Every structure is written in structure tokens, then in C-alpha cells.
Structure 1
């Protein structure tokens, strides 16, 4: 299966159909259902690291993927945290937005308005994970989807040690979205558009992505990249709205499975 909103196609377009790249998939779920990195691994020879804190999803992830798989929460420190283990919308309790709590309580059968059930989970910094698994100094694609802790994780990322070329960050239409954008733009990233509830960024460092400003418009197809069905050429993806997009309105908020 391919990604939910065409994130894998965006990455391939931004990196000119790159083969043999390296990814970091944070919130990888089972590694198959609407995975942002499965096509990159299986059809384009990428390697990388998948991080998934949910115990049952992690067991499926290990069975489904060939890359390094890590069962922990990414966070700003190496520690233990209280984790709301609510399937694909699980997240660190201290970072969980109130708007997500009712959905989590419903999934977990918890009392409406009460505290959601949590479990203790190990938390690790991105630096410690990248170092342990021998990540290269250039991360070609980082998929960041951690249900509320994205900004905290970004603030702790060792940008002095690693370069990220392409990045997608889930925002779920929450207030931190604008803060994430300001943070990344201050570090040399350009907002390239939105795919569903993910914002897409590319590094403006020389040589990081293909030349041109065409990343921020509708109709970024990947014909010839062999994404659909891992064989036939892609057909372009709707729903991508970026700077200068034709009719560039945001999609309506939707709850989704990663």
C-alpha cells in the first residue's frame, strides 16, 4: 500500500525519483497501511528507521518491514513517559492536545470527560536513535506523525549533526501547526504545501532538492516512478495545496488512520 495523501509521491518528486535513500519514519504504525515509507523501501531500495511506540502495531511493523524498527516514543529526552495507547492516534499524554482526548477516550472505552488510560513507555531522543542505528549524516526523508509532540521533537532534533532534505509533519489542524512552520522556516526549510493533514517541507540548502519552484502547486504527478501498485506509473495526486496552488484552499479536517 502507498501513503494516505501521496506523501511518498511527493518525496519522489522532490528528490527526482531517488533510489537508495534513507528515511526516518516517526509514528510508523504497522508499516503497511497508508505508510509513508513502504514504497520507498520496497520499490526504490531505500533503507531507514521506523519508530512506533504502540505495542501491537510494533509487532506488526517488525513482521512487515525490513528496516530497523524501534519500539519507543521519540521525545526531547531519554526517559519514560505516560502514553495514551489509542491505536493510530496514540501519543504522549503531556503533549496530547485536548481536541484529541475525546476521540482517544472513545477508542479506549474510557469514561467521557475522565482521564484517558495510559501506559508507561520508554522515550528516546532522535539523536540517540539515529546514532544507535548508524544513520547517515543526511536524512533524505523524515515522516513526523506523533499526535501532538511534533514541535517538541523538532526542537530537540540535532540539526547541527544531521541534515534533513524532505520533511512531512502531521498537524491535524491544531494550533502548533503555525509554530512548526515558523520553527522550520527559521532553520532553512521551505513550506512546499499540504497533503491532507500533513505539511510538506523541503530544505533550501544547496543541492538538497531538485531545482525549481514547482513543488508548491497542484498536479505533482510521479509518472514513470512506478508508485501505483509498485509497477505502473503514478497518475498525479489531488489534494496537494501549496504556495501558488490553483484554488489553493486547505482540505477540511478529517480523522484518519495513518
Structure 2
């Protein structure tokens, strides 16, 4: 490991130790549960204990010399989605993104191309406590958070099942991001058969409304939101006070939403969004105030 790598590791360990030491002195459940999402105590708590600033170090990707350019222009669904987002926004420079379920910040990232090619920054959210350190060590030029997004307009702790062998497939799930899944999305057959019952562990994760996290960052205009929260997408979106937050483009995963894909379409269309594209497992929506302005300039490819 390089000197810079050791420095980064030491800084991260100190951050975790300091946060844990303070957290042990505070009853998080008593302090947060039931408090409204704009409560200043919540916002201060998030800012202090659940946000890591953008890295100033060189990228630390698994593949040396990794570039997002080939991914951005590839025929993959994520590459096409990235391209479509930029088309809608007129190839905007220095925008702000929020990516939920960011994983390690490199593998199939929906925002890395925006960061590398267009100088964007933003927020990468990865609630899996076993994956989050890997995200931090990628040295992304964006804020990172180890919290999950609350499905209610107040903070809470939710229980998840962590798949220890996350690289393998889970029935009904894709292999990449299903290392951490809400208990509501895991069936008994997923965990009780002899081949998989030893592969799960329960973890509790602090969850905050997305508005609370944005308030901690003092960011109320998001150019692009990638929302993949394991079936809680509709509930999370409904917590947002849309009169206080502007989000121009939203990609939202729908394959695990219990209310069904149509519920997402109906809700987002009711608050002023157009359905622009239907990608595998995800819809792409654009705010009606943004899409017409750039659609003629850079029409989306089919």
C-alpha cells in the first residue's frame, strides 16, 4: 500500500472510531425516531457522523487506469442510461448527483462517468457496512454516506439481511447489489434451504429521509437522482417535500417495488415528471421544466 493509501486508511479508521465512540454515548433510537425530517438535531447528527467528504486523492480503482469513457458509450443498459441522462441535461458540466446503492463506487456505477467526464460531484449512498469501506477507498470526488434512505419522513433503524457471499446470485435478485436486502424482500426459501442458510447475517442500519441528508449537505437542487433501494423506491420518493427540493432527472428501479411499476409512473407523473425511457429494471424520468428545454437540442437515441 502506498503512503497516500496508508494515510487514507488511517483517516477512515479515525473517522469510524470517533463516530462509534460518540454514538455509544447517544441513544440514536431515542434521539431520532419520530422526529420530523427537518429537525436540526437530525441534520447535525447526519453531518457529523454519516457523511464523508469528497476525496482529494487519486482514484483507487480495481483496474488501473480505469476510465468511464468506454462505459459511458457502451451498449450496456447502464451506459445507455448515463448517455440519456446527459442528453436530457444538455451535457451539463459540474452538476450534482445522488446515487443510492452506490456499491463500491466503481462497479457498474451510474455516476462515475458524470464525475470523470463532466466534473460532477454529488452524494454516494451505500448502507452495507461491509461494502462501504470499499466505496470510501475508491477516492470518489463526491460525498459518501453509510446510511440508508428511510421509507418514512423520519429517521429510524431498519433491519436488513446481509448476504455474505454477495457475488453469487439470490433467487429473484441480481447478484451485484443484493448483498444487503430489507427483510421484507427476502423470502423464507431464500434463507432456509441448506445451500444458503449459512450465508446470511442480520444487520441494523440507520436510515434517514433523503431530505434530511440533502439538508445536511445544504443541497436542494439535484441534477440527477439514481434511486435503487430494494423495493422501497416509491416510499422513499414520497418522503421528499417536492416544494423544497428540485430534482431534474430521476432513474428509479422498479423490479422489486411491491406496489408495482405503474405506481411509480403514476406518482412521478402526478408531480410533474415525464417518463422518458424504460431501461431494464429502471425507468428514467425528467422534470417537465427541464426536458423540453433540452430535448430538441440533443434528442435521445432509441
Report TM bin, short chain: 0.7 to 0.9
1:212: how far off? Answer: 3.6
**Which consecutive residues of structure 2, in runs of 5 or more, have no partner in the other structure?**
1-67, 167-176
Task: Render the CA deviation track for 1:46-102: whole Å, top value 9, x for unaligned.
Answer: 0100111111221111111121100011012201011122341223224x265xx75
1:207: how far off? Answer: 7.0
Equivalence for 2:254: 171
Q: 1:145 aligns with which of 228, 240, 247?
A: 228
Q: Is the 8 A contact 1:168 1:200 kept in 2?
A: yes
* Larger Rg belongs to: 2
1:183: how far off? Answer: 0.4
1:83 is aligned to 2:160: yes
Give the Cα separation in 2 of the matches to 1:26 and 1:60: 15
Equivalence for 2:136: 62
Task: Name whichever structure is richer in helix by fraction.
Answer: 2
Q: 1:18 aligns with which of 92, 114, 136?
A: 92
Equivalence for 1:37: 111
Equivalence for 2:207: 123
Q: Is the 8 A contact 2:101 2:229 kept in 1?
A: yes
How much is the aligned-residue C-alpha RMSD, in angstroms? Answer: 2.7
1:158: how far off? Answer: 2.0
User: What secondary structure does 2:131 align onto?
Assistant: helix
TM-score (normalizing by structure 1): 0.73
Task: Render the CA deviation track for 1:97-141: whole Å, top value 9, x for unaligned.
Answer: 65xx756778x92279xxx64211111110111011221x32100
**Which consecutive residues of structure 1, in runs of 5 or more, have no partner in the other structure?**
219-258
Equivalence for 1:72: 147
Give the Cα separation in 1 of the matches to 2:191 and 2:266: 29
TM-score (normalizing by structure 2): 0.63
Q: Is the 8 A contact 2:190 2:196 kept in 1?
A: no
Q: 1:110 aligns with which of 197, 206, 217?
A: 197
Q: 2:183 aligns with which of 93, 105, 109?
A: 93
Equivalence for 1:46: 120
1:147: how far off? Answer: 1.1
Q: 1:154 aligns with which of 237, 245, 269?
A: 237
User: What secondary structure does 2:197 align onto?
Assistant: coil
Structure 1's 141 and 103: CA in aligned 2 closer, same or farther, altered over 3 A?
farther
Task: Render the CA deviation track for 1:186-213: whole Å, top value 9, x for unaligned.
Answer: 0000001112211100000257751349
